[in-house]
């Protein structure tokens, strides 16, 4: 079966305005309050966390996936509509939480939006010895430069991968799987991968992709999981499916 990562739409006609988000309203000291939702990283949240509210531009469209990448309050998490939530939670029953996050839009409060917190990854689905890893090392002067000192690596197993990952994290270096190959037998239609390009990828099966598309969910593009970002965006593959950005 084919698998795809959930990506934000790059079509400005669908988004209405790019970026969609004008600002984020916070309700606590985000770097200090232990209840703030970003303080929980890949772990189950057993409290009602303090959330933040996005404010959309007037010209933005309300899509089922709203682009909040990199925003404080949404780190490694996605913001989705109630419609998309109902589809995803039917396909998987463990390893994630939803928290309601109203969106401010055109002087109204749109209640039916949720942040998705996944606390169980499925990197065990990755066939690591067939994958390619990018390692961006610091130069001798310890200055990080993304486009230099780059190595492309392969690993026989996750033990050796994790050993070098620990070194990269300690040195604040960039280390991620950029060419992902999944194992043949996977028993989930929806799962999360870590230590990949962009940090995390939310992945769906071909069957679930079709269900999301048939439901008319907007703001989503599906990138084949085996394609790197460069192949997808600059190799012409995305444009064949979704047209020019």
Q: Are residues 100 and 199 in the same domain?
A: yes
Which helix (H) or strand (E) element contains residue 242?
helix 237-242
Q: Are residues 27 and 136 in the same domain?
A: no
Q: What is the pTM of this model?
A: 0.93
Q: Are residues 199 and 230 in the same domain?
A: yes
Q: What is the pLDDT of residues 38-71, one digit of tens each?
A: 999 999 999 999 999 999 999 999 999 999 999 9
Range of the domain at 167: 127-179
Q: How many CB atoms lie under 10 A from the CB of residue 68? A: 23
Gap between the Cα atoms of 139 and 218, Å rounded: 43
Contact 67, 20 (CB under 8 A): yes
Q: How many CB atoms lie under 10 A from the CB of residue 40? A: 19
Question: Mean pLDDT throughout 98-118?
Answer: 97
Contact 4, 223 (CB under 8 A): yes
Gap between the Cα atoms of 16 and 178, Å rounded: 30
Q: Which residue has the tokens 């531009």?
A: 57
Q: Are residues 36 and 84 in the same domain?
A: yes
Q: Are residues 84 and 154 in the same domain?
A: no
Domain-ending residue, one of 179, 204, 220 = 179
Q: What is the pLDDT of residues 216-243, one digit of tens each?
A: 999 999 999 999 998 999 989 999 999 9
Q: How many CB atoms lie under 10 A from the CB of residue 242? A: 16
Domain-ending residue, one of 158, 179, 200 = 179
Q: What is the pLDDT of residues 190-203, one digit of tens each?
A: 999 999 998 999 99
Domain-ending residue, one of 179, 195, 222 = 179
Gap between the Cα atoms of 26 and 4, Å rounded: 32
| Residue 220: closest CA among 110, 78, 102, 76 | 78
176: pLDDT strictly greater than 80: yes
CA dihedral sign of residues 155, 175, 3, 189: positive
Q: Are residues 110 and 22 in the same domain?
A: yes
5-25 burial, b at 16+ Cβ within 10 Å, e below that, comes to: bbbbbbeeebbeebebbeebe
Q: How many CB atoms lie under 10 A from the CB of residue 111? A: 10
Q: Are residues 188 and 162 in the same domain?
A: no
Structure tokens at 100: 């309601």
Which helix (H) or strand (E) element contains residue 213?
helix 206-214
Query: Structural domain tally of the chain?
Result: 2
Gap between the Cα atoms of 113 and 77, Å rounded: 13
Q: What is the pLDDT of residue 137?
A: 83
Contact 177, 170 (CB under 8 A): no
245: pLDDT strictly greater than 90: no
Q: Are residues 155 and 202 in the same domain?
A: no
Q: Are residues 49 and 103 in the same domain?
A: yes
Q: What is the pLDDT of residues 90-103, one digit of tens each?
A: 999 899 999 999 99
pLDDT band of residue 29 (cuts 50, 70, 90) is very high
Gap between the Cα atoms of 154 and 21, Å rounded: 38
Q: Are residues 61 and 160 in the same domain?
A: no
146-158 burial, b at 16+ Cβ within 10 Å, e below that, comes to: eeeeeeeeebeee
């Amino acid at each position: 079966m084919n698998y795809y990562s959930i990506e934000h739409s790059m079509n400005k006609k669908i988004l209405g305005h790019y970026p969609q988000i004008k600002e984020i309203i916070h309700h606590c000291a985000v770097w200090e309050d232990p209840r703030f939702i970003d303080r929980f990283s890949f772990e189950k949240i057993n409290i009602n966390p303090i959330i933040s509210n996005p404010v959309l531009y007037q010209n933005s469209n309300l899509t089922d996936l709203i682009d909040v990448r990199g925003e404080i309050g949404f780190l490694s998490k996605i913001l989705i509509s109630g419609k998309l939530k109902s589809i995803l939670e039917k396909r998987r029953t463990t390893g994630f939480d939803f928290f309601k996050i109203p969106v401010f839009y055109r002087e109204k409060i749109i209640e039916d939006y949720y942040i998705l917190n996944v606390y169980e990854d499925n990197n065990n689905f990755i066939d690591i010895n067939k994958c390619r890893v990018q390692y961006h090392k610091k130069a001798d002067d310890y200055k990080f430069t993304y486009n230099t000192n780059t190595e492309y690596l392969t690993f026989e197993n996750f033990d050796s991968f994790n050993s070098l990952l620990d070194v990269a994290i300690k040195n604040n270096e960039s280390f991620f799987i950029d060419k992902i190959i999944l194992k043949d037998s996977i028993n989930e239609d929806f799962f999360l991968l870590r230590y990949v390009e962009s940090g995390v990828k939310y992945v769906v099966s071909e069957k679930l992709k079709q269900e999301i598309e048939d439901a008319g969910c907007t703001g989503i593009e599906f990138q084949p999981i085996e394609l790197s970002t460069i192949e997808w965006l600059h190799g012409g593959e995305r444009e064949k499916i979704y047209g020019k950005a």
